[in-house]
Amino acid sequence: MKKITKTLLITATSLLTFQSCDSQKVVVNREVETTNDGKMLLGTQTKNQFQKAPYSDWYVKEHDEYAIDQKTVDELKKEKLNSYGITLVMGTWCEDSHREVPRLMKILESMNFPEQKLKIIAVNRKKEAPNGEEGVYNIQRVPTIIVQKYGKEIGRIIEYPTTGYLERDLLEILKKDNTTLKDLLK
């Protein structure tokens, strides 16, 4: 009898917990029509959105023409970039995003970077997303590429790579990282 009562109590508690959770619906791949900029992506995005018109006009050309620095990509693999998280904040209206976003995607594709570790947030000209997704990142310019380990930012690339190559800037960020899980728990 105690076992049945315990099971019922656990089941009832679980159901009440699930019902009381106030979950927000996350809209992915939101697209809006603007007066000045035409179609624009806003909020959380997936990379396949860039392969659709009108974004494909700038994305495909830059993606296909970019020559990856393979030696640096090999070093990124050794430094285990795939174990990090990357947040990309960009604007589909922004020339720098038109250049750097396709390049970043090509680099990540060449490394088989896990798509679930890449978060893409599209913002408007005020650097805002509809649900405030960009809020925790203090975005001043786009694109901003944020590299994270254990959820903590370890470096970022703002607007364009200082070395001239995204893969080299990413490698510099990883080589400077000495964060351990133990450090984060302090």
- How do residues 141-158 score in pLDDT, each as one tens digit? 999 999 999 999 999 999
Distance between first and last Cα of the chain: 46
Give the integer Cα–Cα distance in Å for 22 and 169.
40
pTM, whole model, 2 decimals?
0.83
How far apart CA 38 and CA 108 sit, in angstroms, is: 29
pLDDT grade for 182, boundaries at 50, 70 and 90: low
Three-state DSSP state, 96:
helix
Q: Domain 31-185 belongs to what architecture? A: 3-Layer(aba) Sandwich (3.40)
- The number of C-alpha atoms within 13 Å of 23 and in the hemisphere containing its C-beta is 7
| Cα separation, 162 vs 179, whole angstroms | 23
Residue 4, number of CB atoms within 10 A of its CB: 8
pLDDT band, very low/low/confident/very high, at 27 (cuts 50, 70, 90):
confident
Q: Helices (H), strands (E): how many in the chain?
A: 6, 6
Residue 154 token pair: 């370890």
pLDDT, tens only, 52-95: 999 999 999 999 999 999 999 999 999 999 999 999 999 999 99
